[in-house]
Amino acid sequence: MPSHSVDGFVREFLHELNTNQGVMLSRSSANDQYLALASTVKNYLMARWLETGRKTRDAKTKTVGYLSAEYLLGRQLDNALLATDLNEIATKGLALCGLDLATLREQEVEPGLGNGGLGRLAACFIDSLATMDVPCIGYGIRYEYGIFRQTFVEGRQVEQPDTWLALGAPWEFPHPEASVQVNFGGHTEKYVGADGRERTRWVPAWNVLGVPYNYMVPGYLNGRVNTLRLWSAQATKAFDLQIFNSGDYAQAVRAQTFAENISKVLYPEDSTPQGKELRLQQQYFFVACSLRDFIDQELEEDFDLHNLADRITYQLNDTHPVIAVPELMRLLIDEHDFSWDEAWEVTSKCFDYTCHTLLPEALEVWPTELLGRLLPRHMEIIYQINEQFLAEVREAFPGDEIRARRMSMIAEFPERGVRMAYLSTVASSKVNGVAELHSQLLRDKVLPDFSEMWPEKFTNVTNGVTPRRFVKLSNPKLSNLITDAIGPGWVTDLERLKELEPYADVPEFKVAFREVKAANKARLTALLKQRDGIDLPDGHLLDVMVKRLHEYKRQSLKLLHIVSLYEQVLSGKIAAADVTPRTVVFGAKAAPGYKMAKDTIHLINMVAAKVNSAPEIEGRLKIAFPANYNVTLAEKLIPAADLSEQISLAGMEASGTGNMKFALNGALTIGTDDGANVEIRRLVGDKHFFLFGMNEPQVAELGAKGYNPGDYYESNQQLKATLDLILSGHFSDGDPHLFDAVVYNLLNQDRFMALADFDSYVEAQGKVEERYADEEAWTRSAILNVARSGYFSSDRSMRDYLQRIWHTSPMI
């Protein structure tokens, strides 16, 4: 390992610059310098990485195989510097070279290999496992293009490709020599094996190669470096040869592209599965590679696979990787001579399933026609798993044929398809939701028959976020303030934030706390100016709503609140001077094919254009919508926020994790009784959380009774005036029909009951303003939010998984 000194660092850095980048310092570009810096930091981690591998292999303990189609990692450099305690040394060393660490940091393009919550959660979890010294391999896909880059053209979202690999990828280690072949298509054949048993052989039609790319996952100051292994698709020789032999060179090259398409791009839909063939190819591709990898590379050659569950526990991050279940069955039966029962015994011990949604349309169902064509052997195995399972159901509930049909993994309508959530549930030892309310609704509403049959299978693990990235790195000023008060232990033991509680009443601490918030706002102001040309006014309440754009999350409700305030000033119902100065920041990407979401983005931008320049408002209301919200921007936005908007319709947001990040950074939440908000409110205390809206049973009741949004429009004058202002064309250059789709959807359908919760939301915003006007009271609440949110560390989530699901423990 290079020496932990400024001199040693400089030597290493210049060496990397000269030998890796092939440039002298004086001729080097900022990108050269960044790449050399990344290599330098990697060199510090390398010995630990190798040692971690050796230690884990020797110990033969159980590894967590986290199977996730998405990892939303965020920038790597800062996290690596933090994990190696090199920040100060790097700052000084670079300064000696005439360079500025902050500038080099900005060079890094974050790997955006995920859509939102699910992908970011995976990144937090692998960080926590490394920090807790738990052996884990994260498995996923190395998309060449991650989540699209969002731009706005005349207020409308326009997607650009995310070329995150274009300027070099210093954090990855390709291992083409360890490539794995993955088969697709073809048919199956029966034959009689040497032992006289009937066997099945899969005769695939085509195949691709999976090339592993390893990434370091460093623990915080503990010497452990786990691995994230992402697979990239490449054409196989065999694949090429067939076609080359036919003499069609151009076709052969096209075939290569076809194979490589598999890992080309992340699907940007985060709730409506499109049932696209390529998506199923991606899912099978990465789990087939990952299972083979562990069995062939990580386990010793003579390992008895009957004991596989002693050495690996696979966590299914939603249903996306569940095709791993029939794949493991196939490997054991067809390639390792297991009987069906033996294979099932092993397989059903190896998997656990986390569900991340409640929206019925987000539950994956793959048409049997497609699955059978792409993976004929897997289709057979799924049918057989289903048959055995239904036999079990019939035995448990004799005569209840309707129940058996309901529980079948095979749906018959609207077309024959495999319900992946049912397959996941049947094959897994444990099934969990991601917040208390979500887990309860999962049991009672999504999988009631299954929870009745196997009550002990269901459990809850409330999500968490890593305090390393989302406090220590993103909010160094608050981190220092906390450490000065209670010492540094909180970074790996977040419950210790409780020790801050008494400081909520210490005047000097409160002043310092406000200074931190002000400095974070100033930092954000500078960033938004430079990044987006946005001017943030001074002294405003900073009200932030950042998350994917989705109707259930109700960005439109936030917008109605703003338009309502604006309308009241325009029409003279209130004086501008009586409006609490407020800046609302939105950050949101819409799935490219999600029309309503894109229209909502357009409407927000049009309202922003009008409100921001309206003289009547006297600068007291401002909307900022920086494009391309991502992890990097979140790290600057969240520490600056005063108010966190978590306003989904109750029963719709599985957990939310942004909500936790805001609370930990001293923002107060305005939110519904939904997802992890429920737990946040319970922990920080009712007085320090602005609750509004219907709760889940009330939502269900209103839905059952028949919800008519028009009633709310007709009976609520202010709501009517607000919607009428939009309908008048005021925000759409006189074209009154521009936003018909959004407004009429609210008026006629409003699936997520924004109009029903409007009044209560506005009232809660009034309470926010009251509290904000009392600086001391607000600061006290903010400090208590920090002090009482330690529960939401992903370290705690991982402890819960270890104890209740994986039954393994950190290495000693």
Q: Is 547 annotated in the active site? A: yes
Look up residue 164 and give its DSSP letter: T
**Stretch touching ligand 26W by CB under 6 A, among 354-362, 384-392, 397-405, 689-697:** 354-362
Distance CA 672, CA 647 (A): 5
Q: How far is the CB of 282 from ligand 26W (least distance, A)?
A: 11
Helix (H) or strand (E) holding 613: helix 595-613
318 binds ligand 26W, rule: CB under 6 A: yes
745 binds ligand 26W, rule: CB under 6 A: no
Q: How far is the CB of 463 from ligand 26W (least distance, A)?
A: 5
Work out the end-to-end distance of the chain between its first and last CA atoms, rounded to an integer number of angstroms.
23
Residues with Cβ within 8 Å of 662's Cβ and at least 6 positions away in sequence, in order, are 544, 638, 641, 644, 646, 669
Q: How far is the CB of 693 from ligand 26W (least distance, A)?
A: 17
281 binds ligand 26W, rule: CB under 6 A: no
651 binds ligand 26W, rule: CB under 6 A: no
Look up residue 4 and give its DSSP letter: S
**Stretch touching ligand 26W by CB under 6 A, among 299-307, 655-663, 707-715, 797-805:** 655-663
Token output for 147: 């989540």
Site for ligand 26W, residues 118 to 137, rule: CB under 6 A:
118, 121
Closer CB to ligand 26W, residue 118 or residue 536? 118
Q: How far is the CB of 810 from ligand 26W (least distance, A)?
A: 23
Selected binder of ligand 26W within 657, 665, 785, 794 (CB under 6 A): 657
Q: How far is the CB of 474 from ligand 26W (least distance, A)?
A: 18
Distance CA 323, CA 325 (A): 5
Q: Which residues pair with 365 in a beta bridge?
A: 419
Closer CB to ligand 26W, residue 13 or residue 594? 594
**Stretch touching ligand 26W by CB under 6 A, among 298-306, 323-331, 654-662, 704-712:** 654-662
210 binds ligand 26W, rule: CB under 6 A: no
655 binds ligand 26W, rule: CB under 6 A: yes
**Stretch touching ligand 26W by CB under 6 A, among 113-121, 186-194, 384-392, 793-801:** 113-121
Residues with Cβ within 8 Å of 299's Cβ and at least 6 positions away in sequence, in order, are 311
Selected binder of ligand 26W within 656, 671, 709, 790 (CB under 6 A): 656
646 binds ligand 26W, rule: CB under 6 A: no
Selected binder of ligand 26W within 28, 226, 313, 463 (CB under 6 A): 463
Total residues contacting ligand 26W (rule CB under 6 A)? 21
Residues with Cβ within 8 Å of 744's Cβ and at least 6 positions away in sequence, in order, are none
Q: How far is the CB of 269 from ligand 26W (least distance, A)?
A: 4
Task: Single out the catalytic residue among 75, 149, 443, 553.
Answer: 553
Closer CB to ligand 26W, residue 420 or residue 565? 420
Distance CA 182, CA 460 (A): 35
Closer CB to ligand 26W, residue 83 or residue 647? 647
Is residue 548 within 8 Å of residue 116, measured between CB atoms?
yes
**Stretch touching ligand 26W by CB under 6 A, among 115-123, 175-183, 384-392, 802-810:** 115-123
Task: Give CB contacts under 8 A, 24+ apart, made by 719-726.
Answer: 719/560, 719/564, 719/755, 719/758, 719/759, 721/564, 721/567, 721/571, 722/560, 722/563, 722/564, 722/567, 723/560, 723/747, 725/563, 725/566, 725/567, 725/570, 726/563, 726/603, 726/607
Q: How far is the CB of 536 from ligand 26W (least distance, A)?
A: 28
Selected binder of ligand 26W within 270, 298, 543, 750 (CB under 6 A): 270
Q: Is 498 annotated in the active site? A: no
Strands, E assignment, 381-493: 410-411, 417-419, 431-433, 458-460
Selected binder of ligand 26W within 305, 350, 527, 654 (CB under 6 A): 654
How does strand 582-587 pair with strand 621-624? parallel
DSSP 755-772: HHHHHHHHHHHHHHHHHH
Q: Is 356 annotated in the active site? A: yes
Token output for 197: 């048993």
Residues with Cβ within 8 Å of 225's Cβ and at least 6 positions away in sequence, in order, are 45, 48, 49, 52, 130, 216, 217, 218, 219
434 binds ligand 26W, rule: CB under 6 A: yes
Largest CA distance in the chain: 90
Q: Is 622 annotated in the active site? A: no
32 binds ligand 26W, rule: CB under 6 A: no
Nearest Cα residue to 276 out of 356, 366, 376:
366
Phi and psi, residue 470, nearest 5°: -95, 0
Selected binder of ligand 26W within 65, 74, 93, 116 (CB under 6 A): 116
Active site positions, annotated? 356, 547-548, 553, 657, 661
Contact residues: ligand 26W, CB under 6 A:
116-118, 121, 269-273, 318, 356-357, 362, 434, 463, 653-657, 675
